[in-house]
Amino acid sequence: MAKNNGVFYQEIRSNSKAVQELMDKEDAVLACMSDAAQTLIWLSEQARKEGLLWLEEAASGERVSKLVLGYELKRMIDLVVDGTDPEIVEDISMKRYFSRNYNGLEGFLYLIYLDGALNIQAGETPWVFRKSVLSFMPDQVGAEMDRILEEESKAMAKTAEERWCALFQEGALKTGMSAEFYTVRMLDFCISAMNDEDMGRFLREVENWDLAVTMKLLSGSAYKKIHDNTSERLRTMLIEDFECMGPVRMKDIVETDCRLFQTILKLGENREISVPGGLDKIFAVYEENSFSVEDDFSKEMKSFFKGMTNRDVQRVLKDIPQDTLTAAMKGWDRELRRLVCGNLPTLVAGIVTRDMERTDYSEKSIKDANEMISGVIRRLEDCGEVFIRG
């Protein structure tokens, strides 16, 4: 292919000379190339967040169409969105390049677009993508882009910091999670209890993506520990990955947490880190902080649901919003959960169980949900629609 046999870079070199001459004569060329670079970087960042299919709509927008040869960039993006093999994308694009005899500024931008489209298709990180785009640009464009990117980075870091603060507050409301995911909570307490030096050692053993996945279920104190022991750039990357990955299956989070917990155990055995009080202390902390409101809520709800026929249970469940049921079940024991889920459609039962395991509710939220369900049951009983034995 063209890039492999050097033709691509020969053309870049040839066109860059013409571009440099144009820049010495026309100030508009600098603005033109800066717009092209910024647009490519924007497409890369948004594609990583929204997915490749989003690019099809973006490529038809005004921001791309107003670029020099913007329609050619759209053609390349369309090929990428269609899932065309990268070599075929390159082959088709280079054929158009030579058949239309692009050269000078147009030729240079066309090749930059091609390189950008292929890097987007390859899923390059925004940081690498920016470096790749700027590596082609003349010094004047690079300096201008560096200035713009520095301003954006400061704004991004500030925004990232605000999002981290929101995580602290959100995590602080987490009072616990299902005891079925013991390792998840153990990891949370280990991270929270480690000193900064040990935390830094642990983070060097962890992949960024795994850390972002495990953050889905961490508490506020664990978020803060990670935040305080990572660089500004890494914090920005982590919060972007955390928000871009969207919903994650509980199974994947638990598997990731198990790996990270094993890493802590390995480092502890090798005396590379030390958890204050040892792991026995961590286990004790877990027991002290375990979520223990199940018995209170389960007892009352059992007296209702066990005293009803399946038909009456199903009647009650029809009047309970799904999110209310999910929150209430967080405070129930397994026996009561099985009783209720057995009277739900299979699909609904699966969704409720998944959401219950994935979401942590405060004790107040669980209490409010149970009180609402209790009110629904008493109302239906007063109306004679359900009957509760005993």
Question: pLDDT value at position 76?
Answer: 92
Same domain, 125 and 12: yes
Instruction: Kindly tell me if the per-residue pLDDT of 173 is higher than 50.
Output: no
Question: pLDDT value at position 4?
Answer: 52
pLDDT tens readout for residues 186-196:
777 788 778 88
Same domain, 366 and 252: no
What is this structure's pTM? 0.46
Integer Cα distance of 19 and 41 in angstroms = 21
Question: pLDDT value at position 214?
Answer: 84
Q: Where residue 176 falls among pLDDT bands split at 50, 70, 90? A: very low
Instruction: Kindly tell me if the per-residue pLDDT of 87 is higher than 80.
Output: yes
pLDDT tens readout for residues 239-285:
777 777 767 777 778 778 878 877 887 777 677 787 655 555 555 54
**Percent with pLDDT over 90 in the chain:** 4
Same domain, 97 and 48: yes
Task: Tell me whether residue 366 is in a domain.
Answer: yes
Same domain, 264 and 177: yes
Question: pLDDT value at position 289?
Answer: 44
Same domain, 275 and 344: no
Q: Tell me the CA distances in angstroms from 387 to 254, 263, 267, 342, one per residue in order.
A: 41, 54, 58, 19
Integer Cα distance of 3 and 115 in angstroms = 9
Please indicate whether residue 343 or residue 276 has the higher confidence score (pLDDT). Answer: 343
Q: Tell me the CA distances in angstroms from 208 to 47, 50, 213, 300, one per residue in order.
A: 19, 20, 9, 44
Integer Cα distance of 94 and 107 in angstroms = 11
Looking at residue 271, its amino acid is R
Cβ–Cβ < 8 Å for 40, 61: no
Integer Cα distance of 311 and 37 in angstroms = 64
Task: Tell me whether residue 388 is in a domain.
Answer: no
84: left (phi over 0), alpha (psi -120 to 50) or beta: beta
- Stretch 21-34: mean pLDDT, rounded? 80
Instruction: Kindly tell me if the per-residue pLDDT of 108 is higher than 70.
Output: yes
* Other Cβ atoms within 10 Å of 83 Cβ, number: 8
Number of folded domains in the chain? 3
CATH number of the domain at 344, please: 1.10.220.30
pLDDT tens readout for residues 215-234:
877 777 787 888 888 887 78
Same domain, 271 and 301: no
Residue 61, domain extent:
7-137
pLDDT tens readout for residues 123-157:
887 778 888 888 888 777 777 777 776 676 666 55
pLDDT tens readout for residues 71-84:
999 999 989 888 88
Residue 125 token pair: 């990180």
* Other Cβ atoms within 10 Å of 339 Cβ, number: 17
Same domain, 323 and 272: no
Question: pLDDT value at position 281?
Answer: 52
Same domain, 337 and 249: no
Query: Of 264, 289, 314, which marks where a domain is finished?
Result: 289
Same domain, 301 and 249: no
Question: pLDDT value at position 286?
Answer: 46
Task: Tell me whether residue 117 is in a domain.
Answer: yes
Task: Tell me whether residue 129 is in a domain.
Answer: yes
Please indicate whether residue 353 or residue 98 has the higher confidence score (pLDDT). Answer: 98
- Stretch 317-334: mean pLDDT, rounded? 85
Same domain, 14 and 116: yes
What does the longest C-alpha to C-alpha distance in the chain come to? 93
φ/ψ (deg, to 5) at 2: -60, -45
Q: Where residue 165 falls among pLDDT bands split at 50, 70, 90? A: low
Task: Tell me whether residue 221 is in a domain.
Answer: yes
Residue 350 token pair: 């699966």
Question: pLDDT value at position 294?
Answer: 45
Please indicate whether residue 64 or residue 221 has the higher confidence score (pLDDT). Answer: 64
| CA-based nearest residue to 63, from 82, 80, 77, 83 | 77
* Residue 145, C-beta contacts closer than 8 angstroms, at least 6 positions apart: 34, 37, 38, 134, 137
- Stretch 95-116: mean pLDDT, rounded? 90
* Other Cβ atoms within 10 Å of 126 Cβ, number: 19
Query: Of 289, 315, 330, which marks where a domain is finished?
Result: 289
Q: Where residue 159 falls among pLDDT bands split at 50, 70, 90? A: low
Query: Of 272, 289, 306, which marks where a domain is finished?
Result: 289
Task: Tell me whether residue 370 is in a domain.
Answer: yes
Task: Tell me whether residue 85 is in a domain.
Answer: yes
Same domain, 118 and 55: yes
Q: Count of H helices and E strands in the chain?
A: 22, 0
Task: Tell me whether residue 155 is in a domain.
Answer: no
Same domain, 18 and 98: yes
